[in-house]
Structure 1
Amino acid sequence: MMTSLVLTVIGPDKPGLVEMLAQTIANNSGNWLESGMSRLAGKFAGILITEVPEKHADQLINALEALETQGLKVTVERSDSPENNALTQHFTLELVGHDKPGIVRDISSVLAKHHVNVERLTTELVSGSMSAELLFKAEADLLASTTLDIDALQASIENIANDLMVDIVFNT
């Protein structure tokens, strides 16, 4: 039987961290499945899913946690149950606007009120093309029940978009 492990990793950014992590997983019978990793504020941070035979899971967990002595903090969570995405719909949200505090809080609040799950969220600050002002950009992959009223959600998001002075596009 295979066990899925969800890992979060963080440490000071330096060459070789991904290789060290990959080698540890491979040396302990694990298989690297999915990941997202970035350099953020001088730190290397990421999340990944690895799969390992159940009989090797504890050994892999111990080896991953031991990486902290080399500067990489790894937190491990077991995920033995498969995802169930029956009766769900996927869609995306793209947002662009002048940066200001509260954008993510306000948008995520509306999504939560409509029982929409955020599967992936990426954000960044970029310079405006015509000015030096910073623009906040966000992209999100969203998941909701097929019973969700997309029009009601879009109306709620558009109301808050006006208050936040951001442009939002839904792609279903």
Structure 2
Amino acid sequence: MNHLIISFISPDRPGLVDTLANIVRQHQGNWQTSSLHHLSGFFSGVIEIAIDEAQSDNLIDQLQSIPNFKCHIESASPNETENTADIVLELTANDRSGIIQEISSVIHHQGGNLLKLVSSHDSAPHSGQTLFKAKATIAVANNTVDALIDGLEALADDLMVDISR
């Protein structure tokens, strides 16, 4: 079984996900994992498809023929499980330039691997100040979880970190 990772961007329009799902089904593929988003009039995402190698080239050709649909496709092997813990962080702070870099640097220097990051900006309820909010899933060696959490909490006084394991 071949695994294809498809990243794409397209002007948003009704039926785009249906089109993608139909192409996958027509080629006997199995839609594994995805993250799809509407961003400023565009629709973008990443999809993992499991598909028989004999069908891969036809599926790729059909995806690349969709009008106004830009995609990049890579063949991959599913990851084997390692001796790591997946932790989920919910982060809230006053928004500032460089906050993603600060967070990702701590994760990197503690040996963590950022698996998923979803971020947004919201207004604080009473002050109207812009807040940065993020939810991150991180794979980290079991023996470095505490150091990672300590490093994140030391970034700034206004950074709130909620952790679940």
One fold, TM greater than 0.5?
A: yes
Listed as ranges, the gaps of 5+ residues in structure 1 are none
Distance 1:140 1:161 in 2: 18
- Shift of the alpha carbon at 1:28? 2.0
1:88 Cα deviation after fit: 1.2
Which runs of no fewer than 5 residues in structure 2 stay unpaired?
Answer: none
Q: Which residues of 2 match residues 70-149 of structure 1 at below 5 A? A: 70-79=67-76, 81-148=77-144
- Identity fraction in percent: 32
- Work out whether 1:171 is the aligned partner of 2:154: no
Q: Distance between the aligned counterparts of 2:69 and 2:113, measured in 1? A: 29
Query: Match for 1:155: what amino acid?
Result: D
SS of 2:74 mapped into structure 1: strand
C-alpha distance in 2 between matches for 1:50 and 1:170? 30
Paired residues of 2:37 and 2:44 also in contact (CA < 8 A) = yes
TM-score, normalised relative to structure 2: 0.94
Deviations 1:38-59 (Å, cap 9, x if unpaired)? 1012110101111111111111
Matched, 1:35 2:34: yes
Matched, 1:153 2:148: yes
Letter in 1 for 2:42: K
Rounded to whole Å, the distance in 2 between the matches of 1:76 and 1:27 is 18
What's the RMSD between the two structures over aligned residues? 1.3
Residue identity in the other structure for 2:155: I
CA-to-aligned-CA distance 1:87-111 (integer Å, 9 cap, x gap): 1111111111111111110010010
- Residue 82 of structure 1 deviates from its aligned partner by 2.5
Which residue in 1 is equivalent to 2:16? 17
Letter in 1 for 2:98: G
TM-score by length of 1: 0.90
Aligned residues: 165
